[in-house]
Structures are given as C-alpha cells and as structure tokens.
Structure 1
Amino acid sequence: MSTPVPEIKDIRGPQKLGPLTPLVGVWEGNVGVDLSYHNNDDETSHTSYFERAVFKPIPIQENGQQSLWGMNYTMTAWRHGEEGMDAFHDEVGFLLWDKANGEVMRTVVFGRGIAIQAGSSAGPHDTEIHFDATPGDPSYGILQNKYLMQRAEIKDFKSTFTIIDEDTFSYTSDLLLKLAATGTEMHHTDQNTLRRVQRFHPGSEFN
C-alpha cells in the first residue's frame, strides 16, 4: 500500500533562513496604526498608515565558526491621505538566523538617527519571532543621536513578527520612551498586517 504524498506546500526540507523563511518577498499593508507623541501638537495620538516592506535574501555571513543566513529589508510607511507625499517612517536593516545557537537577530537603522541590534531565541519553524533590545546591552542594544537622548530617550525596544499564513504576517513594535516634553515615559507603538504582493523566484529580477 503506497504512502499518500502530501501537498507540495506542506513539503519542507531544511530551510536556510529558519523561521525567517516565510518573509521573503514584497509585502503591503493598509491597516497600520501608530501611537506616538506629536511635538507640534503637544499630544499623544494615533495615526493610521499604509506600508510597503521588502525582504531579500543575502549570501551566507561567516564569522569564524559562526554561520548566519538572512536577508536585508526595508519597511516604509505613509500616513493615510499622504501616500503620494514623503513617507513618515523609513527603516533599513538585516534579519539574521543563527541556526547553531537558535537565535534570530534584527539589525535596523531608522532615518531619525537610531540604530538597534535586537534578537532572541527561536526555533527553525517558529511562527512568532521576537526582537528585543535594551540600552547598554553589549549584544542586543540601542544607540541614538544626542538630541533624541535628551528629548526622547529609548529605554526599551520590543517587537514581534507573527506568521499568520503563507501570504500574511503581522507585527507589533513597542519603544519605551522617556519624553522631556512631558516629563513622563510612554510606549510608542506600531502594528500592521501585511500581505505578500510579490514572490522572488530564481528567474526573476529583484526590483
């Protein structure tokens, strides 16, 4: 009696990008919500946004005995009603998978003069991936320019990517800020759900 053959989408061999594998491609999401302090209006409020994200695999990175597989990425967001204008958020970075040590890493730079190296433990087939960083941590830490240190110091960073299905993922992001304008701490949060609009195949051009 023959063994039933599973559907193609269920056949998964070793995947070089581990839990990051489902993210490869181009994504768009139109249900983003940002909660932040607006200096010009001296108030904390929500902003809705459209977002485009691109994740492209990179060659293996080797540090002595360490081997990292990963991708570079961009995430750009426009406030609703301002899609044809300048983006209000833009980040570039790398997502990396360390299979031997069971860790994911996110090296990200924001156009505001902020650089974060975040990460956590992860399994090769996890569908919820965490990226955490704390100022002063020698491995998963945070740097920001002098003005922001004085006006909106980042005290903590937590972000989670959740793979919902083959063509959908969501994320949450939480920056704990110490605001000089209010003399208090607040959580600057972002969340969105994105759907894949383009896959990368060996014969395709990466635009």
Structure 2
Amino acid sequence: MSTTGSSHIQGPQKLGPLTPLVGEWEGNVGVDLSYHNLTDETSETGYFEKASFKPIPIQENGKQTLWGLNYSMTAWRHGEEAMDPFHDEIGFLLWDRENSQVIRNVVFGRGIAVLAGSTAGPRDTTLHFNATPGDPCYGVLQNKYLKERAEIKEFISSFTINEDGTFSYTSDLLLRLVALGAEMRHTDVNTLHRVKRFHPSEEIN
C-alpha cells in the first residue's frame, strides 16, 4: 500500500508522485548494513551520497503513456569521498497514471538489474518499489557469480518525500549468502536535501 500525505505542490502534476523528486540531491547520513567478506562479519558503514532526477520525454507503449525521470545515485564511504564510490546505480522512475503504478527500472554496477514497482496515487508521498526474482512484472536479474554466492531473494525499497522537503529512502535486499550458510538482509537508508532545482527553461542534458 502506498502512503498519502499532504503536499505543498499544487496544480497539474504530469509526473504524479514523482514530481517532488526533480532536481539534484545530497545526503551525508547514509547507513549501509551488510556482510563484509574480508572481515567475515556484518557491520554498518556510513556514507555520503549524490542523486539526480531529470524529466524524460513521454514514453508510449501502444495505449499506455508513461511520464518519468532518469536518475542516478552514487555513494562514497565516509572518509573516501575523494576515492571511487562503493555504490553506483542508474535507471528510470516511471509514472503510469492510468493504471496507478510507479515503476523503478534500475541497474547496479555490480551486475544486477531490477524492475520494481507498486500501486500509487498521484499525490502519494511514500512510494514503494518491490520486486521478487521470477515475477513476470516486477522481478530481479543478477550475474552468475552473485546468483551462486549471494542470491537476491527479495527487493524491497521505498522513497519518501518528507514534510521539510528532504527525501528519504530505504532499500532492503534479502540475500542467500553461501559464506554464512543462511539468509540475511542487506539494508541501506539515507536522507538527502535538494541542492539544485531544474526549470523547464533550462537545458537538461
């Protein structure tokens, strides 16, 4: 179920609930909870993150019309901001107004591709992007190495526009880890603030 909250944005919203995300964002309070192979332990890692959400042309599939954003999210461990990021993802967020669906089409640099989504209303402030391997609509693909050693069993994620104008997300992967002989959850959370707005008169590359 999606969560509906009050919104200060009025007037037409072709992007539906994706409208408040347009712009560039930064957040320095990220926390990654995951299993670390080198130390053979599960621990938390703090991180800094940049995100960008830019409108794309209208997409049409026959009688289906999609409005959306292309986006990227890149994260650096605290203290490693001048080094290579430890996480990078690119993709699209799509709004299917007619069918009340939000869709997240994302690929991760680790060799993972996800098409996730759920039901949402045009003014919802919390959006859910969920996927399960093998699902014909909202599913998960991963490279052979990961499938054999750290298989994704479930992908659960949500984006929330907060009352103060910040943007928060949670990401939860249920993994079957061969190294542990058990399943565990890999979670990421962060809150970002907008550092740049995009205006229709601007050229967006």
Percent identity among equivalent residues?
74
Partner of 2:176: 178
Q: Measure, in 2, the Cα distance between the counterparts of 1:10 and 1:114.
A: 36
Q: Measure, in 2, the Cα distance between the counterparts of 1:136 and 1:152.
A: 16
Give the AA of the match of 1:31: V
Give the AA of the match of 1:116: V
Are 2:24 and 1:26 aligned?
yes
Partner of 1:98: 96
Residue among 82, 85, 89 paired with 2:83: 85
Residues 118-142 of structure 1: CA deviation (Å, up to 9, x unaligned): 0000000000100000000000000
Preserved contact between residue 22 and residue 166 of structure 1 (Cα < 8 Å)? no
Residues 17-48 of structure 1: CA deviation (Å, up to 9, x unaligned): 10000000000000000001111111110000
Are 2:13 and 1:15 aligned?
yes
The structure with higher relative contact order (CA 8 Å, sep 6+) is 2
Preserved contact between residue 104 and residue 119 of structure 1 (Cα < 8 Å)? yes
Give SS of 1:59's match: coil
Partner of 1:192: 190
Partner of 1:5: none
- Could you tell me which runs of 5 or more consecutive residues in structure 1 were left unpaired when the two chains were aligned: 1-8
Partner of 2:121: 123
Partner of 1:165: 163
Q: How does 1:28-47 map to 2 (within 5 A)?
A: 28-47=26-45
Q: How does 1:57-72 map to 2 (within 5 A)?
A: 57-72=55-70
Preserved contact between residue 69 and residue 96 of structure 1 (Cα < 8 Å)? yes
- Give how far 1:167 is off: 2.9
Rg: which structure is higher? 1
Q: Measure, in 2, the Cα distance between the counterparts of 1:43 and 1:118.
A: 29
Give TM-score scaled by structure 2 length: 0.94
Give TM-score scaled by structure 1 length: 0.93
- Alpha carbon RMSD of aligned pairs, Å? 1.2
Q: Measure, in 2, the Cα distance between the counterparts of 1:129 and 1:54.
A: 17
Give SS of 2:20's match: helix
Partner of 2:105: 107
Are 2:130 and 1:136 aligned?
no
